[in-house]
Structure 1
């Protein structure tokens, strides 16, 4: 690949389109990390943002946000991402402990650093599936920090529109062993048929004892909140038009599909976790977070 072609691929995958949302979440995690009342710690997050010219003016500390939590983007939305990180960190810890799983799969891993941040039992492998440009960018930044993973980290460079299941097993994933799966901030970017295929594939590749967490949006019409402060601020101040990136066709009931196949599922609003932890976003008028749900599913043993 020529230097120019490589730059174009990186820009497409990391500093543009859906890839740019991974940097948005990284900035939010950086802000969360440095809060006095932090919900989640990610010491690597700010380094991703600093490495991307497109994000040069984004804040990385709460004190760089003049309006604090009242800021719809770097306050409320950023805290949402911090809360989501904490909820999924806890899910992974709990699921690995309770199921004995020694392999985890991050679907659309983006700039997720759980392989480096979390305390994993001995013998765990963390498979990170995402486009090559995203994983290459992450590798370069982490290598520059001499970061050491706390589990066997296995990058799987493949687009989720391609044969990611084949790439995953080719990378050493064992379909006969218990596994924990995360699809964080992913499904609503996919066409409905692709979401159904992904959920079907996870079910097929997960034996009894496995677990899956994913995020869903329930609004029948996402454009009902198109003028919400959260969407408007994100578009004007970062150039990320989330509604243009989301697939706005009717979503499948993935939680219901898993329940019909014998999985136990729990569906929560983010606000449930705000109340649990005593901090985080609460409902407001014209709320772009109104339809967000976090689904935690387990495939019981016989």
Structure 2
């Protein structure tokens, strides 16, 4: 596949982590027992010079599933993809919500690969460079979205609320929100602002899912195989990208605002689906939590 000329948006910092997740989704897609399938993922990986040499199938990894990065960590991202796919589809199919907002959408292709109800609009919020790279790859594949897709090229540190409104978002209608793999990188105040704003913009019947880490000290896992293998094999030191300040209790805040909130470990879903990562010693996934919240109708 030709190298993407607009790859600058995913060539460094947090942007390159989108390629890591895309590679994991590609590997998951080609497994016989795949939990999620994303036929676009490998094209993102191969199009960017930063990731063109990464594996997109597990047989391309010398030690296969024993590899902490392309085995266990990639399985984690595959499981997360499936769980959040299920959340989004369940939310729109069991309610009248037809607005879906993806924060830090990165190389998410859900607007193209999921079976959305008629009338669904998917708003994708991310930095302009990331969205431009995604557009170039998908345009090259002649990919057609299965919902109305509205990219919103804005940094979450800027006025994304105004940009969302300008793009046609209606706060009077139910909405579904997703912050996948995002909160780790935000300062605590930005996370609190996001949660408070989602509450303010959500009418009854809306839903939200997001991922957080609960460790008091992320550096306690600095020598975890997941972190060290990611740094050694592809040069991404995740701990230099994460915000290391104490995190707010966003799930508790939502409960206090009247949302119905459930907090799960990833391992809960590994046991449910029968595949995925399980706890191990010195586990960088130990503090990860997936939060699901719904706002009751008045």
TM-score, normalized by length of structure 1?
0.96
- Partner residue of 2:147? 151
**Which of 105, 108, 114 does residue 109 from structure 1 map onto?**
105
Match of 1:235 in 2: 231
1:25-44 alignment runs, 5 A limit:
25-44=21-40
- Cα deviation, 1:161-205, whole Å, max 9, x if unaligned, reads 000010001000111000000000001100000000010111100
Residues 1-302 of structure 1: pairs in structure 2 closer than 5 A: 10-11=7-8, 13-302=9-298
What is the Cα deviation at residue 149 of structure 1? Answer: 0.0
Structure 1 residue 81 displacement after superposition: 0.1
Counterpart CA distance in 1 for 2:76 and 2:97 is 28
Equivalence for 1:4:
none
Q: Which runs of 5+ in 1 are unaligned?
A: 1-6
Aligned to 2:165, the other structure's residue is in SS state helix
Q: CA deviation at 1:66?
A: 2.4
Question: Structure 1, residues 100-155: CA drift from partner, whole Å, max 9, x if none?
Answer: 21110000000000000100000110000000000000000000000000000000
For residues 26-80 of structure 1, the C-alpha deviation after alignment (integer angstroms, 9 at most, x for no partner) is 0000000000000000000000001001112210001112222211000000000
Distance 2:95 2:11 in 1: 37
SS of corresponding position for 2:230: helix
CA RMSD in angstroms comes to 0.9
Runs of 4+ in 1 over 2 A off after TM superposition: none
SS in 1 for 2:290: strand
SS of aligned partner of 1:121: coil
Equivalent residues, number: 294
Distance 1:119 1:56 in 2: 30
TM-aligned CA deviation for residue 10 of structure 1? 4.7
The alignment partner of 1:265 has SS state of: strand
